[in-house]
Structure formats: C-alpha cells, structure tokens
C-alpha cells in the first residue's frame, strides 16, 4: 500500500509540475502584461501544489527522500504526468487549450479528493481547489474569447483543439495505482469525472462555435512512464540546478 500511495502521489504531483514548468517558460512572453502576470501566477500556484504533494510523497517514501529529490532526481521513466501536459507552447491558443483541458479535468478530480480518506491528500486538495477554480475560470474565459474573436483567433484555437484534445483521453485511463487508491477510498474515480469533463468541454466550445474534430484518441502512456521526446527537453532544464549542484538549498 505504501508503494501504491507513493505512485499515486507522483501522478497527482507530476501533472502540475510539468504544466507549471511549461507555463514558467512564458514569463515575459505573454500577449499582454496582465496576461503575462496571470500565467506566471498560475505557474506559481501549480508549483505550490506540487510542493505539498511531494513533501507528502517524500514522507511516504522515507529514507533520504526529500521534496527536491522527488521533483528533480528521477529518470524520465520515473515521471507519471500525462503526455498532454508536456506539449509545447506553440502559440497562445495552444497554451490556453492545454490549460483548459487540464483545468476541466482537475477541478472535478479535486472535488472528489477533498473527501479522500487520506487526510493529507484531502487537506492539500481543499487548499488547491480554491486556486483551481480561478484557473478554470481564467482558461475557459480565454477559450470563449479566442473562439468568439476574430477569424484568425478562431482558426488558431481550432487548430490547437485538434492537436491537443486527442491527448486528453489519457487523463481517464486508470493506472493500477489509481485503481487501488480509488478502491480504498483515497483516490478519485476517473470514470465519474469523465462525463463531467466532456459536458464542460462541449458546453464551452458550443458557446463560440468550436468543435472537437472526429480524431481518434492518441495512444499515450505518460502516467506509466512512457513519454514523448518533449519531456526529455523539459527535464534538461528542470533538473539542471539540482544535478549540477547536488543537495543545493535556496
């Protein structure tokens, strides 16, 4: 059970870790100053959630594990994030679609996890859900603005949906760790989250004439440690300081 809980915490923590890093790459590159600051704050929120989850993961793992070793000193195959969150910042439409898909999934997930039998996960989720509600409001509003804006913005957001939406199915593919944690009342039930996610996506897209193309879901196994080449580039930056200066502390 201890190892399964640790794996589950990695899944919960690696998603915001990798997405937070992607958003951090945009610091100074937002389309407006206000949006630039907002994206940076989203990144900081996600890293705050990661810290809480990885502090708990380190305690569960025991030994010499720390939040930093959990975050920075695993090999690529040791990361359990969904491949959707590795996808690059092609343009602002890609950034917002990726964010919206994750927020539409993560909000109902946190709504379940606040009732987790694991008191630490429940407490972390209760704190994180306040931030996630803002994230969801921010990303969904931008989807409406881009989809209902100019012909160019509509074209770009449509292209981003066609590229990114096929990766979203992986979020609901239950790993063994997720299944076991669900069965003992600790983890979320992904099967119950999916219809909420689909309904939210369709409702938001329909408001501004956006459609999900009839494209088969991508075969993605990031939660099992099989990633795209994008993660290697991310880790080269993310892990640099800890590997160049072992055991460094701020």
pLDDT on residue 50: 96
Does residue 250 sit within a domain?
Answer: no
Mean pLDDT taken over the chain: 92
Does residue 136 sit within a domain?
Answer: yes
> Confidence band (pLDDT; 50, 70, 90) for 27?
confident
> 3-state class of 175 per DSSP?
coil
CA max distance for the chain: 56
**Residue in 219, 78, 93, 68 with CA at minimum distance from that of residue 160:** 93
Does residue 182 sit within a domain?
Answer: yes
Does residue 206 sit within a domain?
Answer: yes
Does residue 147 sit within a domain?
Answer: yes
Q: Is the pLDDT of residue 81 over 90?
A: yes
Full residue range of the structural domain in which residue 119 is found: 2-244
> Confidence band (pLDDT; 50, 70, 90) for 250?
low
Mean pLDDT, residues 151-173 taken together: 95
Q: Is 124 exposed, middle or buried (0-12, 13-18, 19+ CB in 10 A)?
A: buried
Question: CA Rg, the chain, in Å?
Answer: 18
pLDDT on residue 38: 83
Q: Is the pLDDT of residue 180 over 80?
A: yes
Reported pTM: 0.93
Distance of alpha carbon 219 from its chain centroid, rounded?
Answer: 18
CATH code: domain of residue 178: 1.20.1260.10
Does residue 6 sit within a domain?
Answer: yes
> 3-state class of 249 per DSSP?
coil
Q: Measure the CA–CA gap between 134 and 94, rounded to whole angstroms.
A: 19
Q: Which residues contact 125 (CB under 8 A, 6 or more apart)?
A: 110, 113, 114, 116
**How many structural domains is the chain composed of?**
1
């Amino acid at each position: 059970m201890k190892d399964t809980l640790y794996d589950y915490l990695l899944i919960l923590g690696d998603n915001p870790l990798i997405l937070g890093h992607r958003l951090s790459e945009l610091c100074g590159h937002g389309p407006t100053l206000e949006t630039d600051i907002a994206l940076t704050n989203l990144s900081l929120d996600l890293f705050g959630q990661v810290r809480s989850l990885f502090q708990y993961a380190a305690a569960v793992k025991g030994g010499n594990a720390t939040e930093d070793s959990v975050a920075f000193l695993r090999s690529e195959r040791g990361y359990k994030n969904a491949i959707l969150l590795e996808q690059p910042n092609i343009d602002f439409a890609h950034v917002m679609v990726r964010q919206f898909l994750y927020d539409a999934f993560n909000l109902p997930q946190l709504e379940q996890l606040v009732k987790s039998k694991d008191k630490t996960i429940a407490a972390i989720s209760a704190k994180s859900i306040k931030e996630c509600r803002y994230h969801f409001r921010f990303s969904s509003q931008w989807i409406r603005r881009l989809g209902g804006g100019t012909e160019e913005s509509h074209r770009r957001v449509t292209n981003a949906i066609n590229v990114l939406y096929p990766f979203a199915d992986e979020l609901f593919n239950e790993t063994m760790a997720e299944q076991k944690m669900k069965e003992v009342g600790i983890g979320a039930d992904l099967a119950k989250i999916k219809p909420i996610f689909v309904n939210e996506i369709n409702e938001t897209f329909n408001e501004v004439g956006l459609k999900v193309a009839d494209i088969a879901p991508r075969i993605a196994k990031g939660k099992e440690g099989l990633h795209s080449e994008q993660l290697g580039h991310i880790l080269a930056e993310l892990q640099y300081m800890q590997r160049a200066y072992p055991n460094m502390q701020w």
